[in-house]
Structures are given as C-alpha cells and as structure tokens.
Amino acid sequence: MICKNLAVQGDDLFFAGRKTKDLVKKYGSPLYVLDEERLRENMRLYARSMKQAFGKEAKPLYAGKANCITAIHRLAKEEKIGIDVVSSGEIATALKAGFPLKNAYFHSNNKTDEDIAFAMQHRIGYFVVDNAEEVEAIEKEAASLGIRQKILLRLTPGIDPHTYEAVSTGKVDSKFGSAIETGQAEEITRLALSKEHVELCGFHCHVGSQVFDSDIFVRAADSMLSFLAEMRQKTGFLAGELDLGGGYGVRYCESDPVIDIEKNILQVGEFVHEKCRELGIPVPAIRMEPGRSIVADAGLTLYTVGTVKRIRGYKNYVSVDGGMTDNPRYALYGSPYTVYIANKMQEETTMTADVVGRCCESGDIIQPGVAVPESVQRGDIVAVLTTGAYNYSMASNYNRVPRPAVVMLGKDEEKIVVRRETLEDLLRGDL
C-alpha cells in the first residue's frame, strides 16, 4: 500500500480505519474522504523538522490552493502553522475558519485591485509581490488606509526542477515572479525599498511542484541567499525572511520514488547555515509552502461503478459516477493514480480497463489501463488513492454535475465538512 493509512481486510479496502464500502453506504458517492490524523501529522512533520533545521523562527505555510476548505484551515490554525492564499475566495475561506490572517501570505501573479483592497481591509499579514506594477498598486492601497504593508518579493532563481512543464515555475521565463538573472529582481527590490507604505521583509521563490530532486531546495537556497547577501551589500537592506516555496513530490503509484521530507529539510538546514556563515549574514526566518505533501495522502475518492463496457478485441471501460469534474488531473497533466475496486481486494486483477467518468468528453479519464478483477460490475466501489491535493480544489460543475461531499475522518469521530452540492446549489446564480 502506498500510504500508511490504507489496509485490506477480507475483500475490503480500509482507509483511516474505516471500511470504504461503509463510507459510501453512509454518505453516498462520489465522495472525498480526508484523514484528520494524517493531515495533522503532515503539518507537524514540517513544523518540527523546519524548526530543527533552520531555528525556532522557521515555519511552514500550508499552500491552501491544494485543498482550500475551512476544515483544513481550522487544523492549520490549531497546529499553529501559516497559510498561503491566492485569491479573495481563499482569504474568505480562511476568515470563515477563524484563521488569524496575520499568518497568511497572499500570492498570485495577478492580484486584482479588488483582491488587494479586500486582503488589506482584512489585515493580511504579507503580500508576496510578483512584479513592479504590484508594488505600486500595494503602495497606493496601503497609503489610502494609512498603513505599512509587509511584503516579500517573489523572485525566479532560474532553476529548472525536473517535473512537468505545467507545474514548473522557477525558470527565468516563467509567468511568475521577477528574475534574478535579468536584473529585474534588483530593480523591484530597490523600488520596494523606496516606498513609504511598503515594508519589505524578505524574498520568496517557488521552483515547481511534484518535485523529487533531492537538492532542489538547496539549489534554490543557494541562489536566493547569494541574492540576499548581494542586496545587503548594494542597498544595505538585510532580508529577515526567506521563503523557499513548496513542491515536494508525493507518491501516486508504487513506481514513484520515496522522498524523506524530514531528512531532506535537515540537509537544507545544514546547507543554509553553512552558506550564511560563508556570506557573513544571519540565518533568515525560513518559510516553506507545502501544499500537495500536506494533503495528498490524507485524501481518497470513492465512486460507484456504473456501466462496464467490454469492446471485444479493443478495450474495456469501467465508468464511475464522477470523473474529470471531481478529478481533472489526468485530463490536465496525464497524472498517474492508483485505483482499486475497493470491495474486491482479494480477487485477481486479470482485466485491464480505463476507469472513466460520466462527462461528455472522451478525455474524461480518471486513469487508463487499470488492472481490475474480471467480475467488476455495476454497484462495485472504486477507490482512487492520494486525491487529497488538487482534486476538490480543482473540481468543476461541467455538465452541471454537483460536486461531491467531503467527509473528515477523525480518530474517533467523523463528520461531513463540505456538504454534497444539490441541484439548487447549481442553479443559485441563474437569474
């Protein structure tokens, strides 16, 4: 089993101690389930190892875009970690969860004037500023409120992580951030320092997602710390914070590598201490922004099988009652997933089938070429593993399909944390 919270007993797949078949019986399908203990452990792993590696000022920020619901933000608050947000909608979610916004960092390569005003009215802790235009927009809004807004500057350190093009963000020609190589990072630093209502606190980078290169954060830190020291020399400004972004990869399949995040963070810590000593600067307060690696393996999606189609001599299809509307990741990136017929775990998987959704789109595939038991039939339960990240948050209402419920499984209790959408919900905006 690729995650610790999975088990097989008899014919059934268990997740977080629950029989998956029973969860479907109780809550219907499709259904997202979340393992609360796993979420907490993942948050604690970062908080603990970062403090050990970088010092007690260090802290993780949960990248809420991976799965942005109040229930997870409440856990982030309880575990005393920060969050990052990318829109007014994500800020509103954090507010509803009672999350203290002073510990929130506002990202995005294109914050609208409305977003900027909304975030500032609610006294967001930090803006992570993408470009020079945004410095001006923030200065203007902060001046009108008579406040000094803390910011970090998002820079592109010119690093190419070996991951999918669509999730690679640290290269010079990225749409995100200001490049160190072109001199624009220095320009924007000088611009920010010249502003009365902007308090520059440090720098940020994020080089990519689903990354397994073990030296990726070391390379990012190397480039960023050099820049930090260079700015101190040229402008006298010494950055107190350095945010190294998110991106640790998770295992979707047995063939994916295992990355020991704790060990890796400790290695980055050693490097950062050594490099700072070399440069003669104090170790800045380090931030990291894990999204996927906090929530992915805490999530699972359950479906009920409908049509099973055997096209003799060609291919087989197992259709489920959800699809690209609740998990668009295969359609978007060709992402791999591990898929089981969760009520037939003991049967031999002698048939190969594409597990597909119910949408009017040939690309509506959850996963092609899945090994399933020959007996797979209408009413069976399909479990797709590791769906905690970028599933619910990327879900849509294509074909006017309502979005599934989310159930949080605690150690002893469980509850619906996002209720299943109704047809009324779908029609609410139609006038």
Q: Contact residues for ligand PLP (CB under 6 A)?
A: 63, 65-66, 107, 206, 209, 245-247, 289-293
Closer Cβ to ligand PLP, 229 or 298, answer by number: 298
Q: Which residue is nearest to ligand PLP (CB)?
A: 291
Sign of the CA dihedral with 33 first, then 35, 40, and 42 last: negative
Output 157 or 291, the one with its CB closest to ligand PLP.
Answer: 291
Helices and strands counted in the chain (H then E): 12, 21
Alpha-carbon gap, residue 359 to 398, rounded angstroms: 8
Alpha-carbon span 386 to 73, nearest angstrom: 19
Q: In this complex, which beta carbon is closest to ligand PLP, that of residue 125 or of residue 246?
A: 246
CA atoms within 13 A on the CB side of 426: 13
> Which residue carries 């029989």 as its tokens?
19
Catalytic residue among 205, 253, 276, 360: 360
Q: Of 293 and 338, which CB lies nearer to ligand PLP in the complex structure?
A: 293
Q: How many CA atoms lie within 13 A of 203 on its CB side?
A: 29
- Residue 117, number of CB atoms within 10 A of its CB: 16
- Least distance in angstroms from the C-beta of 214 to ligand PLP: 16
**CB nearer to ligand PLP: pick between 20 and 391:** 391
Tokens 């931030």 correspond to what residue?
Answer: 287
Asked whether 178 and 130 are in contact (CB, 8 A), the reply is yes
Nearer to ligand PLP, 111 or 292 (CB): 292
Residue type, 419: R
CB of 112 to ligand PLP, least distance (A): 17
Q: Is 86 in contact with 65 (CB distance < 8 Å)?
A: yes
CB of 40 to ligand PLP, least distance (A): 17
Q: Which stretches of 31-109 are assigned E, i.e. beta strand?
A: 31-35, 59-63, 82-85, 104-106
Smallest distance from ligand PLP to CB 175, Å: 11
Question: Which of 199, 415, 389 lies closest to 294 in space, CA to CA?
Answer: 389
Active site residue 359: no
Minimal distance, residue 107 CB to ligand PLP, in Å: 5
Min separation Cβ 366 and ligand PLP, Å: 20
Residues with active-site annotation: 360
